[in-house]
Amino acid sequence: MSDHILKIIPADRGHVPPPETHEPALKLLEQLAPGETEVRVSEKLQYIDAGEALAWIVCPRCRTRLDMYLEPHAAWYSRIDEQLSKNEVESITVEVPCCNAGVPFTELELEDGGFARFEIAIWNPDVGEYQLPASSMALLEEALGCKLRQVWAHY
C-alpha cells in the first residue's frame, strides 16, 4: 500500500514557530484534514522531499526545468538521493546536468519539495485534489504565526 503525506513547512526555510504553537496547530490540522499527524523540528536544515511526487527541479543558474521522470535527470537525482542518506543537506553540492554548474543542493528550486527546520506532516489526509484550500492554510498560518507552503509526497 502506498502513502500520501501532506507536509506543511514555513515559507522561510530557517523559521521554527514557537513551541507553544505546535500542538494547537497539530490539532487544527487534524480537524481540517483527518489523518495521522506529526510535528518535526530540527536544529539543521532538512530536505522535505516529495518522494515519487517529485516532478521538476529548476536550475538556479540557467533556469532550466529538469523533468525528474525522464532520463538522464532521474539518474542524476538518484545519485543526489544517495548523498542525502549519508550527508547533511547543506553540505551537498551538485553538478546540474543542464549547464554543468556546481551549485549547493539547497539552492535548487524544487517544485515539489523544499527545505525547512520545521514540518507538520499528515499521513493519508482526507482532502481532495492533494491540496488544502487557501482558507485552511490561512488558519494554520495564523496558528503558527508564519507563512506556510504545502509539499505533497507519495511513497
DSSP assigned state of 51: B
Mean pLDDT for the chain? 94
**Residue 96: other Cβ atoms inside 10 A:** 21
Residue 129 — pLDDT band, cuts 50, 70, 90? low
pTM metric for this prediction: 0.90
SS3 state at 136? helix
Any idea where the domains of the chain sit in the sequence? Answer: 1-44+118-155, 55-111
- Domain 1-44+118-155 in CATH 3.20.20.70: no
Helix (H) or strand (E) holding 45: strand 36-48
Using CA atoms, how far residue 112 sits from 23, 60, 70, 100, 116, in Å, is 26, 15, 16, 22, 13
By the 10 Å C-beta count (0-12 exposed, 13-18 middle, 19+ buried), 113 is classed as buried
